[in-house]
Chains A and B, each alone.
Chain A
Amino acid sequence: MLRVRDDDASAYEELINKYQGSVIRLMQSWTNDRDLAEDLAQDVFLRVFRSRKSYQATAKFATWLFHIANNVGSNAVRDRSRRHEAQGMMVQDGSGNYLGMDQLAAAPSGAIPTRQIERSERARMVQNAVHALQERQRIALVLSKFEGMSYQEIADSMGMTVKAVKSLLSRARVNLRILLQPYMDEGSRSSGESSDLSGREQEEEDR
């Protein structure tokens, strides 16, 4: 980034190449829309470029980058909501119907094949599960899992406290375990967990 600050075009290209996948994935986590995610990711990199002269190497670059990215993602979601176009993070069932998170968790296991499932199908269900998480849980999870960021770094990039990040990730794990239970090796999900999930989600929304 220091080279970018000094107007080194090749360094900027390297930076885009290195982080584009991460930023697009993060933007996709915000929007659940691949095309829009790419547009927003491009906006993120342009903002980085425009801010290059003011960049201070006091923090890890990735933290600074993802802080910008989270602002862009958050604004995009907010703008979409303002236009009343937000569809929420909806997940399709096998018949093309859209399910909310609770419905997804409560779906009968027979509707979700647990064995011999194709990898692409599994990948899609994993993606659906992630997108079914509450927004901040989802972002924290992506930064932790895919970017390998520490709680402190996630807190910095999301503008939150470490304690809040810790709580978000814990809840994300709880919910993921429920959502992905059919794909894990052992046992079936108990029926009580759906209400458990709903309750926790409600608590979080209330906070």
Chain B
Amino acid sequence: MTGEAIPESDEELLSAYLDGELGSDQRREFQLRLANEPMLRERLVTYQQAWDLLDQYPETPQKASFTKSTLEMAAVGVAKETPSGPDQVPSEGWRLKLPSWALGLIASSIFGALAGVTFRWQRMQNELARLLPAAHLPSLRFIQDLPEAEKLLTMPELDWFADHVDGISERILPPIPEQLPARRDWVQQLTLTHQAILWRRVRELEKLADDEQQEVTSAARKLDTSNSGDELWRRMAIVSTLIDSISDEEKLALKSLEPEKRLQRLEELLFGRLAVWYAEHLENADRDVLLPWAGSFIIANLPRNISRLSGSGDRIPPFAQEVFFRELLRDPSRINLVEESFEEVQPQLTPMAQQILRGIHPRDRSMIIATWAITALGNRGRSFDEADLWTAYLRQKDEDRNLLDLRNPESVRDTLRSDLIRRGRAPANRDGENAPPATPR
């Protein structure tokens, strides 16, 4: 009965009535009709029921990180809008010769010099005064207490970062040293992020024309004659990254603190809360730098060379895998890279897996393929013959899927398997032929 058609004009009246958009006369008139027309009344009930069902529409939780990043972006916009004062006008010569990011590197070099073993403070100040453009870059504008920055640069964590930057070329993160157990988690997070950022900066340096490289190097060496060029540049990248990580708002707040509290706060900002912030904002703030790191390696080896790769399979940090997954879902153009490999992957899958892969959305198919590839990387000698487990993963709501912690493979596997069992697509018994495959490590 509810399926019977009613005039379109009545449907509009019903809708407007439920929305309280009828005038008083029109409303009275319509209520009379409702009293006398059962079909209209019944339709009204079903409309209301459907409308009420919308209360179950997933809520959008409020995120402090969203607010914070938006505020920061607005603040950056304000900073760009605000003209420099007369005493802050940079030297035209410097400004014209170097691109803005190169000026950033020069600014970085100032801080890099701070970390030198034979650091000469007075000389540093003189050089800083001479390099006016660098002094007015955002990274330096609000942190003028350089002695405190110098102390910061003696922190053991920073040395540790510096010692391991070369590890980028091996794409393997060394274990966190035992002397930093209390900060193990955030050091790991921060390291992963900064490794990627540093990777990009190194690439930028390499892209410089020879004369530009000489210019930047020369400016940097004037500030620190004790270190080799490689060491200095590494320091430049590290410190400028750290300083750039602090929002202008936070830098202003730092200025208002007593000197003795300032360093403590700076440390907290840099190595504590920022680590969390990076994790929360990963997909927004760092996707452009993390993807080249995580994605290029995976894509470059996917899937053509998988069988020829050596190693234990622990070469891609789980954190990077997660980033890669999210990136695949975010940017369809990158998915094409993976999709192109589908034909090559197919013969290696079971008929069931092939059927599943053909039936689903190409975007998700790519994700499964990527997952398969990573699994193959992480579990040498094993075949990925249960694509349905990962189909369960893909069937999760986005929100639920994001809750799955890919860094905890057992937990992911249990969750996905429960999902399959609940849907009657997998036996409750974990043993036997249908045991789930190992998840990516």
Q: Taking beta carbons and an 8 Å cutoff, which residues of A are in contact with B?
A: 9, 12-13, 16-17, 20-22, 24-25, 28, 34-36, 38-39, 41-42, 45-46, 49-50, 85, 87, 90, 92, 94-98, 119-120, 122-124, 126-127, 130, 141, 144-146, 150-151, 166-167, 169-171, 173-174, 176-177, 180-181, 183-187, 189-190, 192-193, 196
Contact = CB atoms under 8 A, between A and B. Distances in A.
A96 B11 contact: no
26 contacts: A20-B62, A21-B62, A25-B60, A36-B330, A39-B284, A42-B70, A46-B74, A50-B77, A85-B332, A97-B359, A98-B360, A122-B56, A123-B58, A124-B397, A126-B56, A126-B57, A169-B15, A170-B14, A173-B14, A177-B2, A177-B46, A181-B46, A184-B50, A187-B2, A190-B2, A192-B3
A21 B96 CA distance: 45
Interface residues of B, number: 58
Contacts of B62: 17, 20-21
B343 interface: no
A34 B398 contact: yes
Contacts, number: 158
Interface of B: 1-3, 5, 8, 11-12, 14-16, 18-19, 21, 46-47, 49-51, 53-54, 56-63, 66-67, 69-71, 73-74, 77, 249, 283-284, 326, 329-330, 332-333, 356, 359-361, 363-364, 391, 394-395, 397-400, 423
Most central of B18, B60, B326, B397 by chain A CB within 10 Å: B60
A21 B398 contact: no
A184 B53 contact: yes
B361 A166 contact: no
A181 B46 CA distance: 8
B66 A96 contact: no
Most central of B12, B18, B74, B364 by chain A CB within 10 Å: B74
A192 B391 CA distance: 33
B72 to A, nearest CB: 10
A78 B58 CA distance: 26
Given A38-B284, A150-B21, A166 B359 contact: no
A20 B67 contact: yes
Contacts of A21: 59-62
A81 B1 CA distance: 40
Most central of B56, B329, B330 by chain A CB within 10 Å: B56
A173 B395 contact: no
A167 B58 CA distance: 26
Given A127-B57, A176-B50, A192-B3, A166 B67 contact: no
B50 A24 contact: no
Contacts of B74: 12, 45-46, 49
Contacts of B400: 120
Nearest to B283: A35
A193 B5 CA distance: 9
A173 B57 contact: no
Most central of B15, B70, B71, B356 by chain A CB within 10 Å: B70
Given A21-B62, A35-B329, A150-B21, A90 B53 contact: no
6 closest pairs, A vs B, by CB? A190-B3, A170-B15, A21-B60, A170-B12, A176-B50, A177-B50
A49 to B, nearest CB: 5
A24 B62 CA distance: 10
Contact of B15 (A41, A150, A166): A166
B138 to A, nearest CB: 18
B12 A167 contact: yes
A50 B394 CA distance: 39
Most central of B11, B329, B356, B423 by chain A CB within 10 Å: B11
Given A35-B330, A85-B333, A169-B15, 7 more contacts: A17-B62, A21-B59, A22-B60, A96-B364, A130-B54, A173-B11, A181-B46
Given A21-B61, A42-B70, A96-B391, A183 B53 contact: yes
B21 to A, nearest CB: 5
